Amino acid sequence: MPEIILPEVELNIHSPKNPTEATVVENYICTAENSPNIVRHMTFDISGTELEGKFKVGQSIGVLPPGETEKGRPHKLRLYSVSSPSKGEGGEKHLVSTTVKRANEEVDGTFYLGVCSNYLCNLKPGDKLKVTGPSGRRYLLPENIDDFNYVFFATGTGIAPFRGMIIELFESGFKGEVALVFGCPYRTDVLYPKFFNEMAEKHDNFHYIKMISREDRRADGSKYYVQTAIDDHEEILSPILGKENTLIYLCGMKGMESGIYHNLAKKGFMDYLRLKGQPESEDPNDWSWEEVKTMLKPSARTFEEVY
Ligand code: A2P
């Protein structure tokens, strides 16, 4: 296993107390048009700010939404994963992108709209916004990028960093293996489908696996989730996961990590994990959900960002 050399990053050049101004340059829907789950690809121009060229793929940008909470306090900062490569969107270092889902939910008959995501999604090219960053110290691609293979697991907008990472890898002529396992409820919710389908057509070493949770069921009645891909697409994933120089990255909803770690353990891929404590049984098939949740932690080969 080669040493993992992470790039030096600059953190919080602009903090919430001292934000800078960015301008929206694009804001478009990046799911199918008929998806009820609206997710937008947004690009901000940061030219002339200290942030130009500073976001590494995997890091996040902070957004300060205007206005106040019900208690009269200014809204807090929200972090969004950057979905452009380190070179910047389209190779332009003054452009940084992110992927934003309009958040909404009904609680006890009242409908709530996510403050920052709806603010962002309503912005038009030319509109200004307050931003901070960069943030994130470890969720990065290694500098010695060619020394590894990569398996990326994303649910929903957790795809954001992997869009940037996959652009970065293949633009640099990467020759190793890359697998992307993406989970979403319906086929219409697949994010950036055109981009990833084209990448899969172009590159034999890019494996694109979609896990659609609410259309069909697995033979045992369970849902197709990113973690079940470890079984359902074993023929693609096991050979890559079994290489001694593969790294895995997870990004998306909290909870996905435990499912992935348990399924990795069941297949014997323990190198991606660190055991905190000793489960009662040696056989991962016997481990309780409680044991899985509390005892399976990421090792140095595993990068986790869940929220
Ligand atoms: P489901 O909601 O059908 O249970 P989105 O962010 O677009 O809603 O997509 C999130 C995806 O992750 C959905 O397909 C969702 O399935 C799935 N999901 C929900 N819970 C988990 C979990 N614990 N592990 C992995 N995937 C999950």
CA angle 11, 143, 174 (to 5 degrees): 130
Q: Which residue has the tokens 């006890």?
A: 108
Residue type, 138: R
- Summarised one tens digit per residue, pLDDT across range 21-67 is 999 999 999 999 899 899 999 999 999 999 999 999 999 999 999 99
Q: What is the pLDDT of residue 33?
A: 87
Q: In what order do the strands lie in the sheet with 20-29?
A: 78-81, 60-64, 128-135, 20-29, 39-45, 95-101
How is residue 239 written in tokens? 């050979």
Handedness of CA 25, 31, 34, 39 (dihedral sign): negative
The best mutation among 225, 261, 293, 296 to test binding of ligand 1, ranked by most ligand atoms within 8 Å of the C-beta, falls on: 225
Q: Please state the pTM of the whole predicted model.
A: 0.97
Q: What is the pLDDT of residue 303?
A: 98
Q: DSSP states of 174-236 as a string?
A: --S-EEEEEEESSGGG-SSHHHHHHHHHH-TTEEEEEEETTT-B-TTS-B--GGGHHHHTHHH
The best mutation among 30, 31, 155 to test binding of ligand 1, ranked by most ligand atoms within 8 Å of the C-beta, falls on: 155
CB of 183 closer than 6 A to ligand 1? yes
Q: What is the pLDDT of residue 116?
A: 97
Q: Whose CA is nearest to atom 2 of ligand 1?
A: 185
Closest CA to 262 of 251, 270, 254: 270
Q: What is the pLDDT of residue 198?
A: 98
CB of 37 closer than 6 A to ligand 1? yes
Q: DSSP states of 79-113 as a string?
A: EEEB-S-TT-GGG-TTEEEEEEE--EEEETTEEEE
Q: What is the pLDDT of residue 307?
A: 95
Q: Which residue positions in the chain have pLDDT lower than 70?
A: none
Q: Using the atom order of ligand 1, give the atom closest to the CA of residue 227.
A: 25
- Go through the domains of the chain in sequence order and give each one's CATH number: 20-135 (2.40.30.10), 145-306 (3.40.50.80)
- Report the b/e string of 211-233 with b at 16+ CB within 10 A: bbbeeeeeeeeeebbbbbbbebe
CB of 211 closer than 6 A to ligand 1? no
